[in-house]
Chains A and B, each alone.
Chain A
Amino acid sequence: MLHIKNVHKQFDNGFLALEGINLSIRPGEIVSLVGTSGCGKSTLLRIVAGLDFPTLGEVSIDGEPITGPHPKVGLIFQEARLMPWLRVAENIQFGLSHLSRLDRQERTEAVLRKVHLSNFAEALPRQLSGGMAQRVAIARALVTQPDILLLDEPFSALDAFTRTQLQDHLLEIWEGDYPTLLLVTHDVEEALVLSDRIIVLRPHPGRIHRELRIDLPRPRRRSSLEFQRLKEQLIGELDLSPAVPDLVKLGGVGSGG
């Protein structure tokens, strides 16, 4: 169980990025954080990852407060962030140096099969396409067998086709081990395809504005009426025109709950 309790984050320059964030996530749940830029969603993810620290409040995993990167938490960044001097298999083993050679090899082979890159174990990152590199990054996170996988806009740098493919692929992987997924995205469809719950954040200061529960069965059809209705509702909640927030609120949310 992941608990985020009353988290505030104020940067050194006085900017209040997050204010009073409370969120609990069950094991195996898929939760998306969505919001316009500046709403603090990436900051919140970095705090959960242990790369950044809250000014006030606490994040805990199974009751254990986070004071730095946690061995049971994996993180996938917006960019693949592979070490350019390591081959694909070596990149995947980057976080496994505590294991024996045999264990490392077995796990690497298994995870390479999972992301369909078995033939590229010896390739260098410069030889990979963007989508392949991101799959290696996913494999590098999965291979440590995390209970919680954090994803910071993981597919936003990819083309639409590859993005859809990798979203389906992520669900496929999730259905194997059911890790908790906490995902930051600004892609409304991505949030709807993947999530059990969508947390809508609003900026100045970053705070939770609304929580949407998505009960559609998976796999979800993007073209279904229900999907389109939820998409309309979510876009309304996002408050995409900051200049006239009240107008959007009046016009957008009508059908929602």
Chain B
Amino acid sequence: MSSLSLPRRPSRQKLTIPRPLQGWLLPIALVLLWELVSRLGIVAPNLLPAPTTVLQTVVDLARSGALFRHVGITLYRVIVGFGIGTLVATVLGALTGYSRVAHAYLDPLLQALRNIPSIAWVPLFILWLGIYESSKISLIAVGVFFPVYLNLMSGVQGVDRKLVEVGQIYRLSQLQLVRRVFFPATLPAYLVGLRNGLGLGWMFVVAAELMGASQGLGYLLIDGQTTGRPAIIIASIVLFALLGKLTDSGLAVISKRLLYWQDSYGAG
């Protein structure tokens, strides 16, 4: 009879592609196909420029220095918005998770606000804060706030009562209990919230920059549309993908370092 095999049992590898490279295989194949389709004129090149054309556009933008200005301002907006959203979400999420009273007063309102599509705030923010940085950063902060808040709040509420009791037996003060039990126990959920929040931050920076900006990757998208240059649009999209992936990987690496103690399937 054949034996049962566990999902992670190392199998005999006939085709040996190193694990980190496996994820690159499909994208590379698609890009090659795209180049081919474009070159052979199967799709009109003024609608779908070839990858090499897109690359050339990026290089040109970089040469003129415009690329770094656009990327820089977009990155600035995401980082500041992410920072503000995370800060407020951390304070409120910790509070409503830890204190039942705070939860009873605050959480219903925040849950109601969460159900408003965040883009709906745009006209109000523009009216209140003007069309410059503050309204854009506010929109990003609102987008980042909810996933961080929700993950942290439910993470704190989900802390194992049994571990809290151990803290009580050793007569830890409230502050010590938070620092030595609640904080480390909540960290996994909090980090998931941060990664979700960062993802939404990138989504909302596009929305904010589409609404009206004179700089930034979102502005490049609109610029490409109005001037009929699809290569610029695609270049911006690719840059968004790269930057989003890069910042997310940064957070993923930090998470893995901080959560070395976890006994989970994915950690193997």
Contact = CB atoms under 8 A, between A and B. Distances in A.
Q: From DSSP, what is the main secondary structure of chain A's interface residues?
A: loop
B261 interface: yes
Interface in A67-103: 68-69, 71, 74-75, 77, 79, 81, 83-86, 94-95, 97
Contact of B171 (A69, A84, A124, A125): A69
B184 A85 contact: yes
Given A49-B169, A51-B169, A81 B261 contact: no
B262 A84 contact: yes
B263 A84 contact: yes
Interface string B156-182: 000000110110111100001000110
Contact of A81 (B162, B171, B184): B162
Given A84-B262, A85-B261, A124-B261, A94 B166 contact: yes
Contacts of A85: 184-185, 187, 261
B179 to A, nearest CB: 11
Q: From DSSP, what is the main secondary structure of chain B's interface residues?
A: helix
B183 to A, nearest CB: 10
A126 interface: yes
Interface residues of A, number: 21
A83 B184 contact: yes
B169 A75 contact: yes
Contact of B261 (A79, A84, A97, A144): A84
A69 B168 contact: yes
Q: Which of B169, B184, B262 has the most CB of A within 10 A?
A: B169
Contact of A69 (B162, B169, B261, B263): B169
A111 B75 CA distance: 53
A96 to B, nearest CB: 9
A95 to B, nearest CB: 4
Interface in A136-150: 144
Interface in B36-91: none
Contacts of A95: 169-170
Nearest to A79: B162
A83 B169 CA distance: 14
B263 to A, nearest CB: 3
Q: Which of B170, B184, B260, B262 has the most CB of A within 10 A?
A: B170
A51 B164 CA distance: 11
A124 B170 CA distance: 21
Nearest to B166: A81
22 contacts: A49-B169, A51-B168, A51-B169, A68-B171, A69-B168, A69-B169, A71-B171, A74-B169, A77-B162, A77-B166, A83-B180, A83-B184, A84-B262, A85-B184, A85-B261, A86-B261, A94-B170, A94-B180, A95-B170, A125-B263, A126-B261, A126-B262
Interface of B: 162-163, 165-166, 168-171, 176, 180-181, 184-185, 187, 260-263
Given A69-B168, A84-B263, 16 more contacts: A49-B169, A51-B165, A51-B168, A51-B169, A68-B171, A69-B169, A75-B169, A77-B165, A79-B162, A81-B165, A81-B166, A83-B184, A84-B261, A85-B187, A95-B170, A126-B262
